[in-house]
Each structure stands twice: as structure tokens, then as C-alpha cells.
A and B are shown apart, each in its own frame.
Chain A
């Protein structure tokens, strides 16, 4: 039986975290799905079929590990534009992601109004996000404050890049959350680049997590290439938040093996050696190795899984490409509420 000859350390890792074998396979599957949707979007972009994308590559472990540590039917996400892995764990499907990629009417994020990768869906408890980095961070604090006012227990996770940590809104939101000990998890996905500007021109302190002490809550640095490390940190932060222990800042250090977006050319500011190094740190490869060492995956089952996911992405792409655009004049809709609540005047809870 698979798993009989487990390396002791390997077994300890995910089971000690309370994760079943099936759960770690689910984590891997979500990571691979995010990667394959992303890769397909690059192909579609280079083929001239979609004008833009901003990539999740290299961030999948951090995103999936973090979202998996939350309660997807009770907690909230205020993510940023790389967080495809999080959106998947909170219920967004390949088809929905592709509808957003092609900006079709059925896209649940925005009905084709926003660029791809701008996640948001009330059904999935993901607040709509803009392109302005760190704008979503105070929203997370506002949602957490609402829970405190209404006596509802949930955690809000907001994520952002290392570049966004320079924004004043990050500071203002963290400061407020610290004062009121709100159940917010600030997750910085530090890929060490803000488009072309490297970490050392963005941040003077040795880590972004170190700033947490200035806000009066814990800050930790984790290996963002390992979903279990991120899961562990977010789980601990979420448990603390649920006990009334307030916010946590988690800095997940990741690599960005691709340009910032489909419009960027990272060869103008990074050496090819550095990019190759980033590609070697691929979290999907390392987690695959972990699962194989744990006896949960072998070449055949992995290939099967990848093929099934490829098929899912094929179907999603075909569906989305053929799906209807919104009517041109739908550009006039949803500016204000109409009488009778026609603009989605549904309240999530109240």
C-alpha cells in the first residue's frame, strides 16, 4: 500500500499539522490547476487571443497553503491580482477563471469589466479587488471590524505583494487592525520584485514581517515555496485571531519565475541566471517530490492527475472562448442601485 515506507520526517510534517493524505493531495491539485490555467493564459496571450494577464506562477504554494488553512464557508478573502490559487481553494472553477481571462459576460468576477486575475465573488466570499495595490488591505480590516460589531466570528485574510507593502494604505490598515485586535491575517507574498524594482529598493528593513512589531502584533517569515509551511503559519494566525488574539503579518517568501505581467519583459532588469534559479525553486516540483517521498503520489498517478487537469483547462478554454460577450450597452449598467434592487442589492448576511 502507498505510504507504507514513509520517511519519518515526511510523515510528521503534514500529519502533525492535522492534514490527511487526501488533503495534501487536494492542495497539490489546486496548485497544479492554478499553474495550468496560468500557463494556458500565457499561450492565449501570445496567440493574440487575450490581451493581458498577470501571473500566479511561483506563488501557488503560498496561495493554496494559505487559503486551505481558512474556513472557506465562513472566512473572507481580500486578495490581490496574483491570487489564482486562493480563488481556486475558495471555490472558483477553471471555467470561471477562463471566463474572466476572455472577459466574457458570464465571468463571475466582473462580467468582463476588469482585467483578468482581478478576483471577486460574493458567493465565494472574495471581495472584488482593484488594480491599485494595497487598496484591498483596509477593506479586510473593515470586514473584520463588521464581524466585531455584529458579534460574528470569522477571519479575513488579505494578501498583497512586497511592492504593496510600501503603500500608506497597508500601514494605515495594519495600524487600525492592531489597535482593535481584529481577526485579520496580512499575507505578504514577497517575490522580491515590484515589477522591476528589487526588494532592496523597496524595503530597508531585513524583512517585511519585522514591521508587525510596530503595529503590536506578531510577524513571521515563512518559506512560500512550501504550502505546508504557509498552511501552518496561517492556521496558527487564524486560530489566534479566532481566540481574540488579533492580527498577524505573514511574509511568504516566493520566487517569480515569469515577468510581472504579459506586458512586461523581465530580461530588461533580471539576469537569465537569476530567472533560471527562480524556475528551479518551483513549488510544484518540490511539493510533488514531497508527495512522492511520502508515498502519496507516483509517476503514473501524477500523470493521470495532470492529464485530468489539462482536460479541465481545455474544456474551460473552449467554453470561455465561445461564451457570449456582454451586450455593448451593458457598459451602462451597475452604476447605481435601481429601484427594486436590480443591481445585485443582495446582502451577504444582513
Chain B
């Protein structure tokens, strides 16, 4: 029973995409400097409906349907954020960020540094990434690793609705450019509890999703959910997994990673992006540098195959994608080592 004299913090179960929408809407209500721009974000409300209803609520000056023009979207966000506004740009699919890379890497990431702290770019670029949705080569890519050796940028990948909302709010309030990657398979598949009150999840902090003592599994995005599911099955084999959700891919939360690796001495890194040059390589290097002698086994990685992109044909797509079975097998192999 609702008793108005009591302090209540309401919690609602919502989908991942609703969490993104709530964060955008609440930040735009809170701060008139915040605006969104991107392809189809206005009348259509975004192809994934992240900005649904926002044109009506905030008007066309703050919810801007842009031309098909990713370099302009990113470059305009650079200019607007340098001026002092808080643009949240949507790149419709992460694959399309490639035509905006100059603005992201040469401009947004370097503005603070090259101006000796005089100018900076508090901007966010949101982009759906990842596959398993019959998206083929150009609607399925995981592009995050490319941006994870660019000091000046922050790269964030939430895996739950709670984190999506809290991290997006943190990204919008951040003083530096943040790339915010949302796994598109999570949008409607993943639901979770989100408080109605205002909160943020700090950028740069990873999260322990499950405590365990036999193996440490480090993941992010959709793959994290496969890891959690596999961990439940692994319990039946008598092994418990200690699970880290990276949440921020750049800069990495080295402390949490190393502490988690030390805890079990056996590490598996799981991501959908292909293995070579992926985020997992840097995570493995950090562990090797910091606690090599405390490991009981070589660090392992389970990742997408090293091919240019994800095929459309469903059999080949499934071959590319990770799933709970593949992850379970890799976890069991490591646990039994």
C-alpha cells in the first residue's frame, strides 16, 4: 500500500532500450544544454525508438533529424560541445561510425589536449553495435576496440537496463567525449529493475556480477548475459565463476580486473568482437603485467572469429555469434584445467 508520508524509492522493470530513452529524456528535462541529433531520431523516434516521443516533448531545435551525414553529426557535436552545450549524437549503427572517425579521433578526442585545456568536448555518441539480429556485415559490427587506444575518449558498454540508464546519464554529464555502445540484441531482450529516482553509474568502474572462486570470467555487453547463464550451468559441475562486467572499456578499471584475476588465478575473457586486437587482449596484458605469478593457468579468450564481419546467412551468423553453450564449454574447460 502506498503511504505518501513514507520515503519511497520506486523501482520499475523496464527494457534496455527504455532505460536508454529514460536517461535521454530525464537529462533533457534536467539540463537545457542537452540535445539529441542523428538520423531518424525526430519524427521516427529513432530506428530502434530510443528517442520516441522526444520531438513532441522537446521540439525540433533539441531533437534534430540530420541528413545522412555521420561526419557532420560528429563534427557538429564537437563544435556544439566546445561551445558549452551537451550534444548526444546517435549514429544509427556503429558500423557507420567509420565515416565520422576523423571527427571522433582527431577532433573530439584531441581538443582538450591540443588546446592545453582551453577547449574541451563534453559530448556523447550513442551507437547500437553487435550482431545476432540478421544484420549482416554492416549492421552487426563490434567496433569498440578501435576506439580503445585513443586517449581523450571514453568508451562505455552497458549490459543491463540499470547500467544503461546510469551510465548514459554519467556520459551526458561527463566533461569529455564518451562513445556509448549499446548491444542492439539487448534492446528488447534484456529487462531489469531501474529505480525511478535520479542516479548515475560512474564511468571507469567495472562491476562484479557474481562472486565465485574457481574461475574469473571477464566480459561486457550481450556476451555478459551468456556468461551469467553459463555460470548457472557450471554450478552443476561443482564450479563457481567470478564474473566481471567491464562496463567501461576505456580507460579500463585495472584495479577491479586485477583483483578479480587474483581471486581465482584462472581467467577467461569473453567478447563478441573478434579476438585479434580486441579489448580482451588489453585486459589480458594488464593481468599479465600485474599478477602473472598469481595465475594458475594461461589467460584464455573466447571471442568472435577473425573474419571481416558477420555473414547474413543464419547458419554462418550463428557460427560467428557466441552463445551460452560455447561460453559454458570454454568456462568448463578452464575450470577443469
Q: Do A and B come from one complex?
A: yes
B132 near A: Cβ within 8 Å? no
A262 near B: Cβ within 8 Å? no
Query: How far in angstroms is the closest Cβ of chain B from A78?
Result: 7
B277 near A: Cβ within 8 Å? no
- For the complex, give the distance between the alpha carbons of A121 and B151 in Å: 22
User: Contact partner of A348 among B61, B84, B99, B102, CB < 8 A?
Assistant: B84
Q: A114-149, CB under 8 A of B: which get 1 and which 0?
A: 100010111000011010100101111111111111
Total interface residues in chain B, CB < 8 Å = 46
- Contact present for B79 and A333 (CB under 8 Å): no
- Enumerate A161-201 residues with CB–CB distance to B below 8 Å: 168-169, 172-173, 175-176, 179
- For the complex, give the distance between the alpha carbons of A127 and B62 in Å: 23
Residues of A within 8 A of B197 (CB): none
Residues of B within 8 A of A225 (CB): none
B115 near A: Cβ within 8 Å? yes
- Contact present for B176 and A146 (CB under 8 Å): no
**Chain B, residue nearest A137 (CB):** B75
Q: With A141-B75, A143-B80, A349-B84 in contact, do A132 and B115 touch (Cβ < 8 Å)?
A: no
B207 near A: Cβ within 8 Å? no
Residues of B within 8 A of A141 (CB): 72, 75-76, 79
- For the complex, give the distance between the alpha carbons of A343 and B80 in Å: 19
- Contact present for B113 and A334 (CB under 8 Å): yes
Tell me if B's interface is mostly helix, strand, loop or mixed. Answer: mixed
- Contact present for A337 and B72 (CB under 8 Å): no
**Chain A, residue nearest B82 (CB):** A127
Interface residues on A, range: 35 or more
Stretch at the interface among B7-15, B41-49, B116-124: B116-124
**Chain B, residue nearest A333 (CB):** B117
**Chain B, residue nearest A168 (CB):** B71
Residues of B within 8 A of A172 (CB): 67, 69, 71-72, 75
Stretch at the interface among B103-111, B224-232, B254-262: B103-111
- For the complex, give the distance between the alpha carbons of A190 and B62 in Å: 36
Residues of A within 8 A of B79 (CB): 78, 127, 138-146
- For the complex, give the distance between the alpha carbons of A71 and B45 in Å: 39
**Chain A, residue nearest B83 (CB):** A146
User: Contact partner of B103 among A121, A138, A175, A345, CB < 8 A?
Assistant: A138
- For the complex, give the distance between the alpha carbons of A121 and B102 in Å: 22
- Contact present for B71 and A335 (CB under 8 Å): no
B210 near A: Cβ within 8 Å? no
- For the complex, give the distance between the alpha carbons of A169 and B74 in Å: 10
User: Contact partner of A350 among B84, B99, B116, CB < 8 A?
Assistant: B84
Q: With A113-B116, A335-B113 in contact, do A143 and B67 touch (Cβ < 8 Å)?
A: no
Residues of B within 8 A of A48 (CB): none
B66 near A: Cβ within 8 Å? yes
B112 near A: Cβ within 8 Å? yes
- Contact present for B62 and A149 (CB under 8 Å): yes
**Chain A, residue nearest B59 (CB):** A149
A226 near B: Cβ within 8 Å? no
A269 near B: Cβ within 8 Å? no
- For the complex, give the distance between the alpha carbons of A342 and B67 in Å: 37
Residues of B within 8 A of A114 (CB): 114
Residues of A within 8 A of B174 (CB): 337
Q: Residues of A with Cβ closer than 8 Å to B?
A: 76, 78, 107-111, 113-114, 118, 120-122, 127-128, 130, 132, 135, 137-150, 168-169, 172-173, 175-176, 179, 333-337, 341-345, 347-350
A–B complex contacts, Cβ < 8 Å, 20 sampled: A110-B114, A122-B118, A130-B106, A130-B107, A130-B110, A132-B106, A135-B75, A140-B79, A142-B78, A144-B79, A147-B83, A169-B71, A169-B103, A172-B69, A179-B67, A334-B116, A341-B175, A343-B112, A343-B120, A343-B175
Q: Which 6 A-B pairs have the closest CB atoms?
A: A142-B79, A138-B75, A111-B116, A344-B117, A139-B79, A337-B175
